[in-house]
Amino acid sequence: MEKINGRLLSWASILEDTTREQAERTAAMPFIHPHLALMPDAHLGMGATVGSVIPTDGAIIPAAVGVDIGCGMIAVRTQFTAEDVAGRDLAVLHGQISRSIPLSAGGRNQKIRASAEPRIAELRELPGASQADAAVAHWPQQLGSLGSGNHFIELSLDEEDRVWLFLHSGSRGVGNKLAQKHIRIAQEQCRRRHIQLPDRDLAYLVEGEPEFDAYIEALRWAQRFAYLNREEMMDRCVDQLGRFSGTEVERAETVNCHHNYTERERHFGREVWLSRKGAISAREGEPGLIPGSMGTASYVVVGKGNVPSLMSSPHGAGRNFSRSAARKRFTRTDLDARMTGIAWGHSDAFLDEHPDAYKPIDQVMADAADLVEVRHTLRQIVNVKGD
């Protein structure tokens, strides 16, 4: 861990100057208490750095939560082993999953499935549903859809050759629209008060005001949507794996966690709003998930309760190159070689997800040694993504 200054601690051994400068600007905001914790996968984000843990007292920065509110991962360990899928055409399973779950930006279900109905009913009853209806009227059709970018669905094997299902997604278009709305409100609030910000995306809402309360309502709704969205997709993945194997799937272990979210937590003797933007909670004994990039390892972990890190850990590898830079830098031939032995989408659309567009996950995990303990190391054999 490096103490950059009295308000910024870093666990990142790979840290670009621009990322450090961005984190310093956020850490200097007057309501940060006691300090900002920068995770090993830190990289440039909108306003606040992706891979940062931001405790705020009396205010929240909506852009420091991010536009994919509640984004996170879910993993299920099944009763199957590598022997159960050996010799099977995993491209068939890739196709089954791809047809069962809408992929890509804007993807949504043509009809609401029975498994989604109780989840949608729950969301309709939560505070914030009216905001969601106003933002995206068809949000019920988005429940059970993946999205694009670094979101994925994978079939993986652990160190004992046990089969896991693992996926990464968030609150989809409705979460994005809600976030953008409240980011704009925060910016307008700061403009109205003539507050000079080092970055307009560090605009904040003040606790006790109606705009703050409205954001918290939308935030909690979107976080629940994201959690249930992952559950719905996992149900479909379990169903498709059962069809593929001819045997009903038994769920031996399940972990579902956010990595873009805010919760009320107590740290260093004070109740704060803790925003994890690209970070997971890592309290002592708490299970978590840290995915690598396409073609690399992912990890099932348990938290160590590291106090200076605000009991947090990284959420993945963290980008090393922007999407546009990755498309120019990497070739389809190289990506094909890196994905040898994995059933995947075989598309140029995934060049920006090339493994080398991200920081080496081995280094990220080495940097996180004081934050989490690795319980399982997963290697993917099926990778489903939306372009």
* Residue ranges at the known binding site for Mn(2+): 68, 151, 168, 259
Catalytically annotated residue among 315, 346, 354, 376 = 315
> Using alpha carbons only, how large is the chain's radius of gyration in Å?
20
Query: Binding site membership: which residues?
Result: 68, 150-154, 168, 259-260, 291-294, 298, 315-318, 385
**Does residue 62 have a cis bond before it (omega within 30 degrees)?**
no
Q: How far is residue 340's CA from residue 332's CA, in Å, rounded to a whole number?
A: 12
Give whole-number Cα distances, 284 to 10, 53, 288, 356, in Å: 20, 17, 11, 32
Query: Binding site membership for GMP: which residues?
Result: 150-154, 259-260, 291-294, 298, 315-318, 385
Q: Which long-range contacts (CB under 8 A, 24 or more apart) does 3-10 make?
A: 4/38, 6/35, 7/32, 7/34, 7/35, 7/36, 8/35, 8/36, 8/38, 9/35, 9/36, 9/37, 9/38, 9/308, 9/309, 10/37, 10/38, 10/42
> Is the Cβ–Cβ distance between 163 and 185 less than 8 Å?
no
Clarify whether 315 is annotated catalytic: yes
DSSP characters over 322-378: -HHHHHHH--HHHHHHHTTTSB----GGGGGG-GGGB--HHHHHHHTTTTEEEEEEE
The residues annotated with a catalytic role in the active site are 315
